[in-house]
């Protein structure tokens, strides 16, 4: 099991090397669930404890970035709820896709992540009733509401790969650093890590098959090319 976890982390680390992730998290609780925010580009340097590349913060382009590992079970849960909510909203846009595979994929994300959101919200209410459960979450994905056809599918795949990478890495850190105080959270982190890792591979395959392109991190905030 430890070997499998190490392999998954290595794969995820390779996927995110030289990538920036467009998400900002600022806790509204007094002590704050996130610690150690830093400015700069994503680096392959190790996080504290040598457990993989650290999430760095970007100072420009598409906004502020996630700059720290989750520091606690609570931090992981509140961030993952917001993260999942964005994924569900984006997946709902795939109902307009011309591809049956994408419509089915979107429906699967909605079902799986909506169930996980409900579960995490119950845990937050039961285990952390005195804390707000809120974060100042900045979107990681582009607005898909005006998109259709190939453009909708391409932008969704590009952005959701980045989005999934964040969930994989956060979940792996919770497991490797023993941050889960409840076995239910540990089990959920395993599920998110493995489920979204599989989906990353599927989305990369579709990018190659349908668009003849490998994944590149979208830098639309810095004037990059939007797909036509």
Comparing 159 with 40, the larger pLDDT belongs to: 159
Residue 213's pLDDT band, with cuts at 50, 70 and 90, is confident
Looking at the DSSP assignment, which residues form a beta bridge with residue 53? Answer: 46
Question: Considering only CA atoms, which of 220, 221, 175, 160 is closest in space to residue 15?
Answer: 160
Q: What is the mean pLDDT of residues 44-66?
A: 32
**pTM score above 0.95:** no
Per-residue pLDDT tens digits for 156-197:
999 999 999 999 999 999 999 999 999 999 999 999 999 999
Asked whether residue 129 carries a pLDDT value surpassing 90, the answer given is yes
Q: What is the pLDDT of residue 49?
A: 35
Domain 2-19+70-216 has CATH 3.60.70.12: no
CA distances from 221 to 21, 27, 38, 225 (A): 12, 24, 20, 10
Q: How many CB atoms lie within 10 A of CB 94?
A: 22
Closest CA to 79 of 142, 128, 9, 137: 137
- Both tokens of 15, joined, read 């996927």
């Amino acid at each position: 099991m430890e070997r499998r976890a190490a392999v998954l982390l290595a794969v995820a680390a390779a996927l995110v090397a030289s990538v920036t992730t467009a998400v900002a998290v600022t806790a509204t609780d007094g002590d704050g669930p996130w610690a150690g925010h830093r400015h700069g580009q994503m680096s392959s340097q190790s996080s504290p404890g040598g457990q993989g590349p650290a999430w760095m913060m970007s100072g420009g382009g598409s906004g502020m970035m996630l700059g720290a590992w989750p520091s606690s079970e609570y931090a992981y849960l509140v961030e993952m709820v917001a993260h999942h909510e964005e994924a569900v909203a984006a997946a709902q846009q795939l109902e307009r896709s011309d591809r049956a595979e994408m419509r089915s994929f979107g429906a699967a994300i909605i079902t799986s992540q909506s169930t996980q959101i409900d579960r995490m919200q119950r845990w937050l209410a039961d285990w952390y009733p005195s804390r707000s459960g809120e974060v100042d979450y900045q979107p990681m994905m582009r607005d898909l509401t005006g998109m259709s056809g190939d453009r909708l599918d391409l932008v969704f795949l590009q952005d959701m790969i980045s989005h999934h990478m964040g969930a994989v890495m956060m979940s792996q850190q919770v497991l490797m650093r023993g941050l889960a105080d409840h076995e239910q959270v540990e089990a959920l982190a395993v599920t998110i890590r493995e489920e979204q890792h599989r989906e990353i591979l599927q989305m990369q395959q579709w990018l190659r098959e349908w668009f003849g392109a490998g994944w590149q991190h979208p830098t639309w905030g810095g004037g990059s090319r939007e797909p036509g």
